[in-house]
Amino acid sequence: MNTQQRSDGERRTGTQGMIDKLLDERQEMLVLFCQVAGLEPYSRTESLEKLLQTFCQVLVDYTAFGHFEVFGHISDGSERRGRVIKVAEEIYPGFVEATEAAVNFNDKYDLSDHELKLDKLSKDLSSLGEELAIRVELEDRLVATMLAR
């Protein structure tokens, strides 16, 4: 096997690993999202606080991985396929909006520096869910393009 074939194979393996991690993190985040949403009506309990804290951490991890790892891989020149770069450029604005929604939700409901207020949690989860649904569609489009040969 020549060096070019080996490096192409290594790149494909790296891309597949990155996609697998993204999808695993997304799955974990969506499961936690559904668990939090399923607790309505919300009352301040230790179990809700712990679940919300866990959800916020996983949400931030998932959001950061997609934003910095996946888009970082594309923007740093590691991704050379023009069609992948084109799709990434097309979806990036929507991706950024979803990232901002996730960060805003985390800032409001992460309990590390302020008291938990539940009066708008249902509405905020609904808004976040809409943004996450858009992000999932955009990610799926990018992933399909990245996996195409």
CATH value at residue 128: 1.20.120.1370
Q: Which two tokens stand for residue 4?
A: 């070019």
Number of helical (H) and strand (E) elements in the chain, helices listed first: 5, 0
| pLDDT at residue 68 greater than cutoff 70 | yes
Residues of the domain holding 64:
3-147
Which of 43-47, 90-94, 129-133 shows the lowest per-residue confidence on average (mean pLDDT)? 43-47
| pLDDT at residue 111 greater than cutoff 90 | no
What pTM did the predictor assign? 0.88
**Would you say 124 and 108 are in contact if contact means Cβ atoms under 8 Å apart?**
yes
**Number of domains the chain contains:** 1
Q: What integer pLDDT is reported at residue 10 of this predicted model?
A: 56
Q: What integer pLDDT is reported at residue 6 of this predicted model?
A: 40
Q: pLDDT by residue (tens digit) across 51-67?
A: 999 999 999 999 999 99
Give the C-alpha separation, 113 to 8, whole Å. 46
Give the C-alpha separation, 21 to 15, whole Å. 10
